[in-house]
Structure 1
Amino acid sequence: MKVLLVTYWELTQMGGIWTYVKQLADRLMALGIEVDIMGTNGAKNEVYIRNLNRTFSKENVWPMLQAKLNPTDLPQFTADPLLAYYELNRYAFEMAAACLGVEHYDMIHAQDPVAAVAMKRILKNNTPMVTSYHGALAREAFYDEQNSNPQLTLPAYLQSKRGRYFLSLEQRSAAQSELILVSSRWIKSTLTSLQVPEDKFRLIPYAVDLPAYRSQASVRFRQRPPAGKKVIAFTGRLEFIKGVHVLIKALASLKQLRSDWVCWIAGEGNLLEDLRSQANDLGVGGDIVFWGKLDNIPSFLRRADIYVQPSLQDTQPFSVTEAQLAGLPVIVSGTAGMPEMVEPAHTGWVVPPQDADSLSALLNALLQDDATRQRVGAQAKAWAEKYRSLEEMGMRTLQVYQEAIQKGGHPI
């Protein structure tokens, strides 16, 4: 079987989609499946098949697309610059994928709605397609916009032109996929609300390559915490939807109560300088270390005492599982798929989303209770090692491929 894992988004060495795609590809290849990976390189403005070293520059088709999709001939198309940007890039992605070639695969596994719609538009045969929904596209777009418009509500956004556009991509991709992979009950619920049939879904939680994780964790991180300080950690993209601004606000309140802590933040993103400024303005700039991008997160987490995932929306973040495997007590926001990852007071805690006061109070309680931190961290590690097996995820995903091929009337 030849499988194409394809995403419209950029493939980077840090981030949930890349972690999922890389681990799944490695596991499928260990099972004898031929796997190619297609994604976007934003820095070079190109689409590429990663393991084949084949690329297509979107600049080759950009002038033609801009000439065709212009304000004079298509005023409605270009009325909203954000949607025009998405559509131009989607067309360019389609043309690049068509030139790179997608007809010879037995299975297309799209990693997002944009890639799924693009693949179905260019496929000349009826190659079966499975789509993974790693998040809720329309809701993520809402949080991006709420960053600059705090008064905006989710219902209002979903009724807007932009909201309807992103919802339409989710609906179209779901309708065109033989089967849909989700990692949480929450992401499934967002799609069933769009009238996607229940029998299309297959729930397979994300997993971690445990031997590789243990190997990385065995490397000692280069920096020790300051004497007498416990480490509160976060890893991930520094974007509004990740809620790091909520964590910093909670830390400012925590500092009024105690100073026996430091916060270590690993990751990069467009809000780095804004978050630095927020920390300085709230008087905790000297208590937070922004490490930037790190190549070895398991090693980093070995130095931590508490892990916080304050996201406004997150499906099943790998960072939480990595923290659990490090034996850390984790705190997650009570939104999206994150509450499904912890059993309160047994493998972690759930706090109301965007509630800095509740987060601060819980951090204060945990910092003064070593026994509870250690007990919950140990239980979280045991749970993650039992239920987050990469071998099981790979086998179950392959079974979904085989089911999708049969569903489409193709021989296996």
Structure 2
Amino acid sequence: MKILIATYWLIPHVGGVWVYIQDLKASLEKLGHEVDILARHPDENSYYIVNTGRRVEKKLFRPLIEKKIKAVYASQPIPIDPWIVDQEIEFCSYALAASYLGLRSYDIIHAQDVISSRALWQIKPDGVPLINTIHGCLATDFWVSLEGQTPSDSIWKYACAREYYGATSSDLAVVPTQWLHKTLGSYLVPGDHMEVVPYGMNIEHFLQRTKERNSFRLPKDNCNILCPARLDKVKGHSSLLDALYLLKQSRTDWRCLFVGDGSLREELEAKALHLGLSPYVVFAGSRNDVPALMRQSDIIVLPSLNDNQPYAVMEAQLASKPIIVSDAGGIPEMVQHGQTGLMARAGDSGELSRCLELLIENKPLRNRIAKNGHSWGLKQWSLPAMTDRIEELYGQLRSNKHIRKALHPPKHPAHHGSKICTYFRNAYQMDIPKSFSIVDDHIVGSILFQANQS
């Protein structure tokens, strides 16, 4: 088979989705398949086929799309939030870029997020099956990040609609956890549209990476705590800093290394300074030597407020390191409290602090949890098992043995942007379906026109 793995996210990047894509691609190629990757380029101004370098700049599409979408939305009786407008412009740009780079040669398309899935579902040729793996819930992450604030009604409706339409814009959706299966069900995604397939990892490759030499040296006279996660509100770093502040009141024989970057870095560094934690914590930024840093660490901590099946937990277990996690999202499916890790309630800094203190002072417990976690990880995180199941699902879709369970409501019959599509078909020989519309076939267009007709 010739397979296209597609994502809206920037590739390459440091994160679980990129690890999943790389491992799946390599495993499928070992089975004899040909695999391409479609993603946004790190320059944020273009889209490309990662493994071949074929590339198209966003400016080829965006000006025409932007003009049309803004004109249509400006004519609506209710103003549309500028953030939503920009999201739809990005969404449509991705769809046209995929068409420009070409989709007809693929036997199957495997999208990796709700944005790319929705875009490719609308622009792909008929007869090419599309499966998606949903790695998390953007709407739930957004809600958690608000920290109790109430979003505008239009933005929240858009977030929920994007989740539903993105997950169901496929012949079948794959989710890694029962938690995500249930969560997407709360956004009305039919349960029988989803298949639970837990992640797998290239265990041998990861263990080799733990032995690599690196320039960062952690102090040997303290207990070293590692928190490997992007600096995002849903990852719970603020709660961890509060826990470390409480820990500092009773002992100071530890250091904590934050590995990851993000928009919260300045805020978190300021909070660490305010709490008097600067001598005890280090913000190391984004690094590609996390496996080697895990080997040097004594404890791994992941205090997420919302998460699905984080690779950091899998990696800690395989690296034979004791881990402290929160009970957020799908994490309880990965860790048995007291056996393969310790678990604190999400956002409870006091409970998290007590877990840290317990592992720091009890080395036999650390060793037992590390050993149990390693044994569990070797059995649970099998990459061949994951790949075999994914390949089996590909086969079912290609042989029409799977009947799609999700049906979308009818769209408004107008087709805004038909002249734009005709222009691109003629100027660049792009294979754009006649049904494709710049506005109407997208989430916001559907919601707006349904509202107007009610």
TM class, shorter-chain normalised?
over 0.9
1:171 CA displacement:
1.8
Query: How many pairs does the alignment contain?
Result: 402
Q: What corresponds to 1:376 in structure 2?
A: 369
1:331 has 2:327 as partner? no
Report if the CA contact (8 A) 2:327-2:344 is conserved.
yes
In 2, Cα distance between equivalents of 1:79 and 1:174: 23
Q: Secondary structure at the match of 2:109?
A: strand
Question: Which structure: larger Rg?
Answer: 2
Identical positions, percent: 34
Q: What corresponds to 1:272 in structure 2?
A: 265
Q: What corresponds to 1:97 in structure 2?
A: 98
In 1, Cα distance between equivalents of 2:36 and 2:398: 18
Amino acid at match of 1:84: V
Amino acid at match of 1:151: G
Deviations 1:162-199 (A, max 9, x none): 22212212222333322111110000001222333333
The 10-residue stretch of structure 1 (371-380 or 201-210) with the greater mean CA deviation from structure 2: 201-210
In 1, Cα distance between equivalents of 2:167 and 2:284: 38
Report if the CA contact (8 A) 1:103-1:125 is conserved.
no
Q: What corresponds to 2:239 in structure 1?
A: 246
1:361 CA displacement:
1.1
- Change over 3 Å in CA distance of 1:15–1:372 after alignment to 2: same
1:408 CA displacement:
6.4
Q: Secondary structure at the match of 1:262?
A: strand
Q: Secondary structure at the match of 1:13?
A: coil
Q: Secondary structure at the match of 1:336?
A: coil
1:235 has 2:235 as partner? no
What TM-score comes out, normalization by structure 2 length?
Answer: 0.85
1:85 has 2:78 as partner? no
Amino acid at match of 2:314: T
Q: What corresponds to 1:109 in structure 2?
A: 110
- Change over 3 Å in CA distance of 1:127–1:363 after alignment to 2: same
Q: What corresponds to 2:385 in structure 1?
A: 392
1:71 CA displacement:
5.5
The 10-residue stretch of structure 1 (62-71 or 332-341) with the greater mean CA deviation from structure 2: 62-71
**Matches of residues 5-404 of structure 1 in structure 2 within 5 Å?**
5-70=5-70, 74-76=74-76, 79-144=80-145, 146=146, 150-152=147-149, 157=151, 160-404=153-397
1:273 CA displacement:
1.3
| Gaps in structure 1 of 5+ consecutive residues | none
Amino acid at match of 1:65: I
Q: What corresponds to 2:421 in structure 1?
A: none
Amino acid at match of 1:49: I
Deviations 1:337-359 (A, max 9, x none): 11111011010121111111110
1:75 CA displacement:
4.8
Report if the CA contact (8 A) 1:221-1:303 is conserved.
no
In 2, Cα distance between equivalents of 1:372 and 1:163: 44
Amino acid at match of 2:384: E
Report if the CA contact (8 A) 2:103-2:125 is conserved.
no
In 2, Cα distance between equivalents of 1:222 and 1:174: 42
Amino acid at match of 2:140: R
Report if the CA contact (8 A) 1:263-1:289 is conserved.
yes
Report if the CA contact (8 A) 1:128-1:408 is conserved.
no
- Change over 3 Å in CA distance of 1:386–1:409 after alignment to 2: closer
- Change over 3 Å in CA distance of 1:397–1:359 after alignment to 2: same
Report if the CA contact (8 A) 1:56-1:96 is conserved.
yes
- Change over 3 Å in CA distance of 1:189–1:409 after alignment to 2: closer
Deviations 1:381-402 (A, max 9, x none): 1111111111111111111111
Report if the CA contact (8 A) 1:70-1:78 is conserved.
no
In 1, Cα distance between equivalents of 2:4 and 2:248: 50
| Gaps in structure 2 of 5+ consecutive residues | 404-454
Highest RCO, 1 vs 2 (Cα 8 Å, sep ≥ 6): 2
In 1, Cα distance between equivalents of 2:113 and 2:334: 22
In 2, Cα distance between equivalents of 1:326 and 1:286: 27
Amino acid at match of 1:214: L
1:252 CA displacement:
0.8
Deviations 1:258-278 (A, max 9, x none): 001000111111111111111
Report if the CA contact (8 A) 1:307-1:329 is conserved.
yes
1:220 CA displacement:
3.7
Deviations 1:88-114 (A, max 9, x none): 100111111111111221111111111
CA RMSD of aligned residues (A): 1.9
In 2, Cα distance between equivalents of 1:8 and 1:73: 24
